Amino acid sequence: MLHVAVVGSGPSGCYTAQSLVQQDPDVVVDVLDRLPCPYGLVRYGVAPDHEKIKSLQNNLRTVLEHERVRFLGGIQIGPGGVPTDRLRELYHAVVYCVGAATDRHLGIPGEDLPGSWSATEFVSWYSAHPDAVDDGFVHGARSAVVIGVGNVAVDVTRILARGTAELSPTDMPQGALTALAASRVTDISMVGRRGPSQARFTTKELRELGTLPDTAVTVDRAELGLDPAYADPSGLPAPQRRNIEALRTWAESPTQDAGHRIRLRFFLRPVELLAEAGHVAAVRFERTAPDGRGGVTGTGHYEDVEAQLVLRSVGYRGVPLEGLPFDPTTGTVPHLAGRVLREGIVAPGEYVAGWIKRGPTGVIGTNRPCAKETVTSLLEDAAALLRRDPPEDPLTALRTEGIEPVEWTGWCAIERAEAELGASLGRGVVKLPDWQSLMNAVHSNAD
């Protein structure tokens, strides 16, 4: 049997495991994750009010329950856990599917002021990631600025505008729900540095903003008009054309009165976060103009937008993993069709898939063909990989080295504890938000 370790149990890790066992009856797979919970960003990124997408966890579950797949949670690969070269000794092949765990930086003054957070931090908090810190976020804020116009920016804007009645049925942790219920944020500006025809959000997600209860969406027609494609979008690809049409509907509708106001802004590049009494109070933007090549140039005109809460949603970024090559420009691991490249040469038995391979773009489904490409490379190499004899059962070897993973039964115990917590609160499933409660649930199972 070919023993493969897949590091990361997000979509790319699960699709890699699935493709391996589907394509080769002589493969067994261990899916390792640093967290005791599987599914990566499907659990810790996909917005809690998107139940349908969240339910993709059920599809990933069937992969991890396959008879030749084993979930080993709570195992950090790299410093403080199992070094990459040790993992390589334990398996015929290792596929790194570790995602892109951190945020991109703006590199502007005031970026780190109190009241300014990356969307990554905010999302991790409301998704109950056990490493998330409850920094107060919405506490004391009336106006928020979300920088960036991608789908994550839409997610965090929507969560800020949602009411308790809509968030309570979700699996959002109780602390985040209580804080958002007490939120006094009424005005949210979501701001793009380029024009509406270059926005990265998808039309479905954009339109959803217009369906939120007690929420008015406004767009300034004159600002949209700065984009030459606004007057005549016929030359745009269909997704961008649909975005323009959705924005046009709002721009041409009379402004509604509502408890929450979402303002979509364009052609504004953030240049500085301004403080008052040591806390963020506004974002200074420079007005930009299209350069005719899809980019923008500065105009030297500035506008300050008030905000006591700033969420920087300008993309995620891969982090280097000790022992693996890393390209700091792209935040990815260099590879050839999924085979890891060390100084341009294929490293036998090491592979990548998902965001750490392609960079932090693409929806859940994009990871499926990506994983498949990697698995094709791996299986082409199988004969050579089988010439080496790793230990019979890597788990036994790990245990003798003091590593005690959270196995599938441990994860099932977490699921039960989350269902019980939800029932005690009169809600559905409610996520456990910290390491202590997750590990208590795992250990209660062992007792």
41 binds, among ligand FAD, ligand NAP, none (CB under 5 to 8 A by kind): ligand FAD
Binding to ligand NAP (CB under 6 A): which residues in 205-234? 205
**Binder of ligand FAD out of 133, 363, 423, 425 (CB under 6 A):** 363
Q: State yes or no: residue 97 binds ligand FAD (CB under 6 A).
A: yes
360 touching ligand NAP, by CB under 6 A: yes
Q: Are 99 and 10 in contact (CB under 8 A)?
A: yes
Contact with ligand NAP (CB under 6 A) among 92, 129, 162, 194: 194
Nearer to ligand FAD, 195 or 354 (CB): 354
Helix (H, G, I), strand (E, B) or coil at 98: coil
Q: What amino acid is encoded at 409 in this protein?
A: T
Closest CA relative to residue 331, chosen from 339, 321, 340: 321
Residue type, 286: E
Q: Quick one: which of 74, 173, 315, 338 contacts ligand NAP (CB under 6 A)?
A: 315
Integer CA distances (angstroms), 389 to 133, 384, 394, in order:
43, 11, 11
Q: For the chain, give the number of residues.
A: 447
* Alpha carbon 104 to chain centroid, angstroms: 12
* DSSP output for 36-47: SS-STHHHHTS-
User: What gap in Å lies between CA 320 and CA 189, rounded to an integer?
Assistant: 33
Collapsing DSSP states into helix, strand and coil, what is residue 424?
helix
> Residue 292, Cβ neighbours under 10 Å: how many?
8
- Residue list 153-172, contact with ligand FAD (CB under 6 A): 155
String of contacts with ligand NAP for each residue 255-284, x by CB under 6 A: ---------------x--------------
**Binding of residue 110 to ligand NAP (CB under 6 A):** no
CA–CA distance from 116 to each of 107, 135, 136 (Å)? 13, 10, 11
Q: Minimum CB separation from ligand FAD for residue 213, in Å?
A: 20
Question: Token pair for residue 190?
Answer: 């979501």
- Out of 42, 101, 106, 442, the only residue in the binding site for ligand NAP (CB under 6 A) is 106
Which x/- pattern over 13-52 shows residues binding ligand FAD (rule: CB under 6 A)? x------------------xxxx----xx---xx---x--
Give CA–CA dist 285/267, Å, rounded. Answer: 9
Q: Which is nearer to ligand FAD, 121 or 381 (CB)?
A: 121
* In the complex, minimum distance from the CB of residue 84 to ligand NAP, in angstroms, rounded to a whole number: 26
Q: How far is CA 250 from CA 210, 243, 332, in A?
A: 8, 11, 38
Q: Which of residues 103-162 bind ligand FAD (CB under 6 A)?
A: 123, 152, 155
In the list ligand NAP, ligand FAD, none, the entry touching 270 (Cβ below 5 to 8 angstroms by class) is ligand NAP
The 140-159 site mask, x for binding ligand NAP (CB under 6 A), equals: -------xxxxxxx-x----
Bridge partners of 328?
none
Within 288-317, the residues that bind ligand FAD by CB under 6 A are 316
Q: Binding partner of residue 315 among ligand NAP, ligand FAD, none, CB under 5 to 8 Å per kind? A: ligand NAP
Q: Quick one: which of 371, 316, 336 has its CA closest to 95?
A: 371
Query: If binding is defined by CB under 6 A, does position 48 make contact with ligand NAP?
Result: no
User: What does 148 interact with, of ligand FAD, ligand NAP, none (CB < 5 to 8 A by kind)?
Assistant: ligand NAP
Would you call 25 helix, strand, or coil by DSSP?
A: coil
145 vs 152 by CB, closer to ligand NAP = 152
Helical residues (DSSP H) of 202-294, grouped into ranges? 203-208, 221-224, 228-231, 238-251
Task: Indicate whether 7 belongs to the interface with ligand FAD (CB under 6 A).
Answer: yes
Contact residues toward ligand NAP (CB under 6 A) are 106, 147-153, 155, 192-194, 198, 200, 205, 270, 313-316, 360-363
